[in-house]
Amino acid sequence: MSQATAIQDRKPSAGGINRTFLWIEIKRMLRNRRTVIFTVLMPAIFFFIFGLSNKDQLLPNGHSYGQYILISLTVYAAMTAATGAGSQVAVERAQGWSRQLRLTPLLPGAYIAVKAAAALTLSLVAVIAQFVIGALAGVTMDPQIWLTAGLVAWLGSLVFAALGLFVGYLMPSQNVMQILGPALAILAMLGGLFMPIEIMGDTFGEIAKFTPAYGIGQLARSPITGEFDAIWIVNVLAWLAIFVGGAAMAFRRDTKRV
Amino acid sequence: MTGVPAVRAAGLHKSFGKVHAVRGLDLTVQQGEVVAFLGPNGAGKTTTIDMILGLTTPDRGEVSVFGRTPRAAISRGQVAAVMQTGGLLRDISVRETVQLTAAMFDSSRPVDEVLTRAGILDIADRKVEKCSGGQQQRLRFAMALVSDPGLLILDEPTTGMDVAGRRDFWSAIRADASRGRTVIFATHYLEEADAYADRIVLVRQGTIVADGTAAQVKNLASGRTVRATLPSGDRALLAGLPPAANVEYDAGRVTVRTSDSDSVVRYLLNNTGAHDLEVVAHNLEEAFVALTADEPGTDADRHALEGDRA
């Protein structure tokens, strides 16, 4: 039978990265009301509560406090978005989708790449939304500051996409974001995104330097503070390595257990 | 037509902790066969299917699909499966689910075509979470058709469906199998295996206890038991019995399991000194249960266990 021979002679698939996959992933995220609340609404509310009142106070170097807070909260929005997107693997595992995907040619690496790309898309939405809210509220900055700070917040969110994947593969919970949400708020606070490191006191100021939101926050605000320290980059890369390593380990454990 | 077998499994073993789920299972399925994998819950059907699909690695033994490893066959879209539960994203539509599945393969059938063949084109825009159990099962079937696989595996596909849903589902599968696709389905419903398979593989405690056409296995499982007291001098005459599944002689009593009890009775009364004759009928379901019951201590079991130690 010709059909039978055709089946035997088929070539292996390339592994599954493509636009349809990415597009459906992005649609799923944007349809999720909870994701939108965490990534757009909450940081916006924080900005209106903490940012607006101090918007026009000036930092020692002449930049406004409003800029400082807007950039910090944009980093927070981007990291929440990326973590939320990554952690969706927990839901997919619970629904048996990860297992179903093992019956397709999709390669694990391609799956992770699509997840990371979807996470970056969502965090880009978060960054843009935050900046639009800030601009509408009257925060002004030089174009290159908007751009640099936005890029750092956006690309830095990759660290948190890895955190989301890590936790998503570790936990069976459908409501993984209910745990991650508060945890991210604590990390944001410790990392100096809700209040400047300088006013946190010596102990917390020292602890802050070892937390995962610290490096990204400092780098993103660097254009307005005028400061730079290579240790911030070390902080970002170290946490990226830790979360990617953890995610890879949790992923392997998950696919082995049947 | 012959070509390589769709499935070739040799000496498969799989344990989960202390549970020895599959114990030395051998199975070859030729292309174009429709095979029912029949057995009670816990017989090792799902574990075997998982090994054929590469979802589980056998502890011992080998399995190939179209002459390749399961993973290589999946990568070529040669095998697809309809699993019992799960495997669906609740937050996307029926059509999106099939589109997403199609996107994983290099070549795939048109989405609307497989939706039509699975009978769910009319609910294509419905969210998966709003679909009934039967509709979700047809969606899994549509997803399995996307890569136009040579081998389709269904693991208890009609569990939880009502009678009408079950009938519709099977008529879709049967229409599909008539186009030459190899189909293996696991079930614990004897009627399903009887109605839809041309070959039935009966599994019990991780090994195959019977393998044949539906008629052969039915004969094995159905029929009646004839018992009679027989003078030991007449034992040699038992060789003249009409074909029977099983003949035993013990302590002056002969026990014959047969699908043709009339002929056996006629022969015993006409040609031997048999007396005190009794005929016990089993219905199909009871016979099936008897054949697959989880009682340790039979010969088949002992062989399997000895094999394990060796």
Query: What value does the mean pLDDT of chain B take?
Result: 85
B110 touches A: beta carbon within 8 Å: no
Indicate the pLDDT class of residue B300, thresholds 50, 70 and 90: very low
Whose tokens are 């995104």? That residue is A193
Interval A217-236: pLDDT, tens: 999 999 988 889 999 999 99
Nearest CA in chain A to B1: A1
pLDDT confidence of residue B293? 62
Checking if the pLDDT of A2 tops 50, the result is: no
Of A11, A97, A258, nearest to B50 by CB-CB distance is A258
Nearest CA in chain A to B31: A4
pLDDT confidence of residue A61? 67
Interval B131-149: pLDDT, tens: 988 899 999 999 999 999 9
Q: Å from B80 to nearest chain A CA?
A: 7
Q: Look at A208-217, B138-147, B301-310 and tell me which has the smallest mean pLDDT.
A: B301-310
Query: What value does the mean pLDDT of chain A take?
Result: 87
CB contact under 8 A, B105 and A4: no
pLDDT confidence of residue B304? 34
B131 touches A: beta carbon within 8 Å: no
Which residues are bridge partners to A251 per DSSP? Answer: none
Checking if the pLDDT of A13 tops 50, the result is: yes
pLDDT confidence of residue B292? 66
Indicate the pLDDT class of residue B228, thresholds 50, 70 and 90: very high
CB contact under 8 A, A96 and B99: no
pLDDT confidence of residue B294? 53
pLDDT confidence of residue A220? 95
Interval B169-179: pLDDT, tens: 888 888 888 88
pLDDT confidence of residue B287? 60
pLDDT confidence of residue A46? 86
**Complex ipTM more than 0.85, yes or no:** no
Angle at which helix B133-145 crosses helix B94-103, to 10 degrees, equals: 30
Mean pLDDT to the nearest integer, A171-176: 75
Of A12, A21, A258, nearest to B100 by CB-CB distance is A21
The distance of Cα A173 from the centroid of its chain, to the nearest Å, equals 19
B104 touches A: beta carbon within 8 Å: yes
Give the residue with greater pLDDT, B306 vs B159: B159
| CA-based nearest residue to B157, from B126, B106, B197 | B197
B100 chain-A contacts, CB cut-off 8 A: 20-21, 24
Give the residue with greater pLDDT, B303 vs B12: B12
Indicate the pLDDT class of residue B63, thresholds 50, 70 and 90: very high
CB contact under 8 A, B66 and A7: yes
B128 touches A: beta carbon within 8 Å: no
Checking if the pLDDT of B111 tops 80, the result is: yes
CB contact under 8 A, B53 and A7: no
- Put simply, the chain B residues between 155 and 194 with a CB less than 8 A from any chain A CB are 180
Mean pLDDT to the nearest integer, A81-88: 92
- Sorted by sequence, the CB contacts under 8 Å of residue A49 that are 6+ apart come out as none
- Neighbouring C-beta atoms of residue B17, cutoff 10 Å: 6
Alpha helices in chain A (DSSP H): 2-8, 19-31, 33-36, 42-46, 65-94, 97-101, 108-136, 143-170, 176-190, 202-208, 214-225, 230-256
* Dist CA B236 CA B229 (whole Å): 14
Angle at which helix A65-94 crosses helix A176-190, to 10 degrees, equals: 150
Mean pLDDT to the nearest integer, B282-308: 49
A26 chain-B contacts, CB cut-off 8 A: none
Q: Å from B171 to nearest chain A CA?
A: 22
Interval A39-71: pLDDT, tens: 888 888 888 887 777 777 887 767 788 899 999
| A68's tokens | 């400082």
pTM (two decimals) = 0.80
pLDDT confidence of residue B297? 40
B74 touches A: beta carbon within 8 Å: yes
Indicate the pLDDT class of residue A258, thresholds 50, 70 and 90: very low
Of B1, B78, B92, nearest to A10 by CB-CB distance is B78
Q: Look at A182-186, B163-167, B183-187, B267-271 and tell me which has the smallest mean pLDDT.
A: B163-167
Interval A124-172: pLDDT, tens: 999 999 999 999 988 888 999 999 999 999 999 999 999 999 999 988 7
Q: Look at A18-27, A172-181, B198-207 and tell me which has the smallest mean pLDDT.
A: A172-181
Checking if the pLDDT of B305 tops 50, the result is: no
Which one of A8, A20, A28, A256 makes the best mutation probe of the B interface by having the most chain B beta carbons within 10 Å?
A8
pLDDT confidence of residue A256? 66
Interval B234-293: pLDDT, tens: 888 888 888 776 788 888 899 888 878 888 899 999 988 898 999 886 655 656 666 666
Give the pairing of strands B224-229 and B275-281: antiparallel
CB contact under 8 A, A96 and B88: yes
Of B66, B85, B101, nearest to A104 by CB-CB distance is B101
CB contact under 8 A, A28 and B91: yes
- Within 13 Å and on the Cβ side, how many CA atoms surround A199? 5
Checking if the pLDDT of B307 tops 60, the result is: no
- Reported in sequence order, the residue ranges of chain B that DSSP labels E, i.e. its strands, are 7-16, 19-29, 34-38, 60-65, 79-82, 151-155, 182-187, 199-204, 207-212, 224-229, 246-250, 253-258, 275-281
